Every structure is written in structure tokens, then in C-alpha cells.
């Protein structure tokens, strides 16, 4: 390992970056160095710009992947190499605005009817019933279930933040049934034959298969269940700021996007045209 890579990794540790983020950053910086066949300390902003264009035009990478590369080199140059380059020196690719896919309540019910494995069903119900990300659901521990206060503890979620979210009576009943059958010791959803937990990929595969067998044509991932959780709460009248806390969003703007996919909110909002007619009727009545 080169001294630069070692210091890069140490800086990421000091800044509290998640292990998955560290692996991603090392991957992108290594590919960047390999492309120019030289150490990043000998490269400059124009080299970063040309490589970004290469990823966009020749490699045809997604905006998300290119922006991940930008985040990696920005951290490297600003923190490890201490280059005097501000955030504006690292332009990002604009991502197309896409609304999240949301299942209807009927589709969610049909979906769970086609998850045959008790462990997968319990884990997927956690994602829909409590709004967890897939990584948060698979890493739950038995001790994270607080049945007295009807809460689930999420340890070190996105942004390395702990939070509590709801534990509904139905979800608690499902988890108790699963616990009696599986008797997990540490992780709530342990991996077969190892001391670790169920992988995100395994749960994602079970989700895709269940959606297909349920005849759901929408692209359905584990994250779709989280989107559906938030949207259904909103449609049932839950305040947006409460949903923000449950989801662990740092910004209310992130949560507010669910108003764009809520059929009840969109369809139930009075049109200004209807309000004009109502005001005209009230004016005539007043006269």
C-alpha cells in the first residue's frame, strides 16, 4: 500500500466515513490513478475534468456513479492532499429528477402474500412497516426491538446517525412469530452458516422474486417499500416532519418529495379554478 493511499484511508477514518463509503472512494481514486498511470498528487483539476468527461461520454456511467467519483477525489484533494480548491472546483453531473416508485396498499398486501420464507417476509415487513433502508433492516439486532415502548432502534443509519422509528402491533406480532421459529441470538436476521447478518443482496433478490410472483409490473426494490411507507403515512394524514424523523432524513426537502407521488394529496388538493367558483357563489350569497 502506498503512503498516499494509507493516509487517504486514515483521513476517511478520522472523518467518520462509513466502511462502504471508504471502499467506494478507494475504488474510484484507484481507477482515476490507473487511467493516467500516475499518482493523483501529480494530477490537477483539468485532469479531473477530462476524466469526468471520459466517464460520461465513453464509459457511459450514470450521473450517480460519476458524482461518487467526484466526491471521492474532492475528499482526497481537500483533506489528504490539502489542495486549495473549493467545492466549486469539483462540478457534478446534473441528475434527472425522478419520482420514487410507490406501491398501492393493495399491491403491498399482494406482495407480502408471495414472500414464502418467514425470515425474508419479516425483514421486508420491517422495511415497509417501519420505513427502514435495506442496510438498516438486515443489520438490526434482537436488542433493537423495544416492545415496551413500541419502537425500533436503528443503529448508525445513513450519515452514521442513530434513530428510533415506529414498531406497529402487527409488525411486532410478525417478529415474535419469526423469533419463536428462528431463535436468533445477536442479529435479528442472521446469515445462514455465518456469524454475520443477512445480506442486502439476498433480501433484494427475495423482494424482486416476490414482486414478480405477485404480478406487480412496477420496478419493485426493497427501497420501494420504504417509499411506500412514507407515501402511505402522508396519505393517512401524518405530518411531514414526523415522517422526516421516522425516515432519518436530514432535510425536510427530501421528505417533501413524497407529496409529489401521493395520489390522495395531489387529487385531493382543490384547484384554484374551483376556489374561484366557490368564492363567486359566496359573494352572490352575501349579496
- 119, 133, 227, 232: which one is catalytic? 133
On whether the CB atoms of residues 246 and 166 are closer than 8 A, the answer is yes
- 79, 110, 153, 223: which one is catalytic? 223
- 158, 179, 187, 257: which one is catalytic? 158
- 51, 77, 120, 258: which one is catalytic? 258
* Residue 120 is a catalytic residue: no
* Residue 158 is a catalytic residue: yes
* Residue 114 is a catalytic residue: no
- What is d(CA 129, CA 222) in angstroms, rounded to the nearest whole number? 12
Distance of CA 205 to the CA centre of its chain: 17
Q: Residue 69 burial (CB < 10 Å; 0-12/13-18/19+)?
A: buried
- 187: β partners: 141
128 phi and psi angles, rounded to 5 deg = -85, -40
On whether the CB atoms of residues 83 and 41 are closer than 8 A, the answer is no
On whether the CB atoms of residues 50 and 44 are closer than 8 A, the answer is no
What cell was used for 98? 425522478
- What is d(CA 22, CA 13) in angstroms, rounded to the nearest whole number? 8
* Residue 79 is a catalytic residue: no
- 119, 197, 226, 232: which one is catalytic? 226
Going by the DSSP 8-state scheme, the letter that residue 88 receives in this structure is G
* Residue 59 is a catalytic residue: no
* Residue 226 is a catalytic residue: yes
Provide the annotated active-site residues: 133, 158, 223, 226, 249, 258
Amino acid at each position: 500500500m502506498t503512503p498516499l493511499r494509507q493516509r487517504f484511508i486514515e483521513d476517511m477514518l478520522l472523518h467518520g466515513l462509513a466502511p462502504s463509503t471508504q471502499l467506494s472512494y478507494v475504488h474510484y481514486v484507484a481507477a482515476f490513478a490507473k487511467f493516467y498511470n500516475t499518482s493523483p498528487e501529480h494530477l490537477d483539476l483539468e485532469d479531473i475534468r477530462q476524466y469526468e468527461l471520459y466517464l460520461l461520454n465513453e464509459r457511459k456511467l450514470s450521473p450517480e456513479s460519476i458524482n461518487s467519483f467526484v466526491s471521492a477525489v474532492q475528499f482526497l484533494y481537500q483533506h489528504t492532499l490539502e489542495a486549495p480548491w473549493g467545492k466549486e472546483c469539483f462540478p457534478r453531473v446534473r441528475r434527472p429528477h425522478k419520482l420514487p416508485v410507490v406501491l398501492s396498499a393493495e399491491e403491498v398486501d399482494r406482495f407480502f402474500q408471495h414472500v414464502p420464507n418467514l425470515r425474508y417476509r419479516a425483514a421486508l415487513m420491517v422495511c415497509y412497516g417501519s420505513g427502514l433502508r435495506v442496510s438498516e433492516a438486515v443489520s438490526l439486532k434482537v436488542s433493537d426491538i423495544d416492545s415496551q415502548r413500541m419502537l425500533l432502534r436503528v443503529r448508525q443509519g445513513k450519515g452514521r446517525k442513530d434513530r428510533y422509528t415506529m414498531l406497529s402491533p402487527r409488525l411486532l406480532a410478525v417478529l415474535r412469530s419469526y423469533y419463536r421459529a428462528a431463535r436468533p441470538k445477536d442479529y435479528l436476521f442472521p446469515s445462514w452458516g455465518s456469524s454475520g447478518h443477512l445480506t442486502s443482496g439476498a433480501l433484494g433478490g427475495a423482494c424482486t422474486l416476490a414482486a414478480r410472483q405477485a404480478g406487480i409490473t412496477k420496478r419493485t426494490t426493497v427501497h420501494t417499500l420504504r417509499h411506500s411507507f412514507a407515501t402511505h403515512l402522508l396519505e393517512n394524514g401524518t405530518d411531514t416532519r414526523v415522517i422526516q424523523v421516522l425516515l432519518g432524513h436530514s432535510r425536510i426537502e427530501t421528505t417533501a418529495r413524497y407529496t409529489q407521488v401521493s395520489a390522495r394529496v395531489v387529487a385531493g388538493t382543490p384547484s384554484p379554478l374551483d376556489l374561484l367558483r366557490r368564492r363567486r357563489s359566496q359573494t352572490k350569497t352575501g349579496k
